[in-house]
Amino acid sequence: MEFDRLLLWIEAQPAIVIALITFGACYLCAAIVFVIARVSVSKPIANELKATTPVMLTPLSVLTGLVIAFVASRTWTNFDHATAILRDEVRNIEEIVTLAERLPQNVQTEIRHAIGQYLQFTKDEWPAMLAGSAKMRTSVPGLTDAMSTILSFVPQNPGQQIAQQRTLVAIEQAIDARRNRILLSEASVLPMQWIVIVALGTLMLVTVAIVHIDRPPAMAVNLFILSTAVAVCLVLLLVNDRPFSTGGFEIRPGSLLGQIAID
C-alpha cells in the first residue's frame, strides 16, 4: 500500500519533476553500488568476484529489455485507447446536440441544458478520475436527463422519429464511452512489474560493478551510462503510465469540454 501511494505521488508530479526524481534515484543507486564495490575490493571475496565475465550482462540486459518492452507496450496502448475513447465521447455528445436541432424547440432546449449539465459534471468529476477514484454510476447526470427527455417525446413525423432513435443511440454510446474512460483511468503498471524492473536494473548495476571491481574509473563510467539508460526507461513509463492521471503526459478535461460548444 505504501509503495502504491509512493508511485501515485511520483506520477502526480509534472514530467520534469518525475525525471529529476527518477534520475536522482538511479544515480544514487549507482553511487551506492560503486561505494560498496570499492569497500569490498580489499576483501578476500573480491578475488573470487573477479572471475565474473561481462557475458553475465547479456541475459540480464535481454530480460530487462523484454520486461520493459512488455510494460511499455501496454502503457502506450492504454494511452492510445484513452485518446480514442475521449474522441468517441466527444463525437457522440456532438451528435446528440446536432440531432436535437431536428426536434421541437422545447425538446432541443431541454437536451442542450442536459448536455451542459453533463459537461459540468465531467469537469467536476475529472479530479476524482485523475486520482483513479471516480465511480461507475447507474445514473449519469445530464445524459440520464437527456435520455428521459427523448423517451418522453412523441415524434410527429418520420424525420423526428429517426432523430429520436439516433439520439438515443448516441446517448447510450456516450454513456458507454464514459464508462470505458472511468475503467481506463484505473489502469496502471502493477507494483510487482515496477519491482521486477527495478530489481533487474539493480542487478545489472551490481554486475557491472563486479566486472570492473578493480578498475574504478571504468566502473564509474559504466555505472553512470547504465543508470542513465535505466532512468530514461523508467521516466518514459512513469510519464505515460496513467493516461487520465495528474502529472506526466495526461489527457485534460479541456480535451473534451473544449471541443463541444453549447449555446
Tens-place pLDDT, residues 148-183: 999 998 888 888 899 999 999 999 999 999 999 888
pTM value? Answer: 0.75
Q: What is the pLDDT of residue 159?
A: 87
C-alpha cell at 144: 440520464
Domain membership of residue 125 (yes or no) is yes
Q: What is the pLDDT of residue 2?
A: 72
Q: What is the pLDDT of residue 256?
A: 58
Q: What is the pLDDT of residue 196?
A: 93
Q: What is the pLDDT of residue 122?
A: 87
Domain membership of residue 43 (yes or no) is yes
The string of DSSP letters for 112-164 reads HHHHHHHHHHHHHHHHHHHTT-----SS-TTHHHHHHHHHH---SSHHHHHHH
Q: What is the pLDDT of residue 252?
A: 60
Q: What is the pLDDT of residue 1?
A: 59
Q: What is the pLDDT of residue 250?
A: 54
- The domain of 178 spans 2-257
Domain membership of residue 173 (yes or no) is yes
Residue 99 to residue 164: CA distance in whole angstroms: 8
Domain membership of residue 17 (yes or no) is yes
Domain membership of residue 143 (yes or no) is yes
Q: Is 241:188 a contact under the CB 8 Å cutoff?
A: yes
Domain membership of residue 263 (yes or no) is no
Domain membership of residue 262 (yes or no) is no
Domain membership of residue 35 (yes or no) is yes
DSSP code for 56: G
Our count of domains for the chain comes to 1
Which segments of the chain have a pLDDT < 70? 1, 132, 245-263
> In this predicted model, what pLDDT tens digit does every residue of 174-214 receive, in sequence order?
999 999 988 888 778 888 899 999 999 999 999 999 988 88
Residue 217 to residue 31: CA distance in whole angstroms: 13
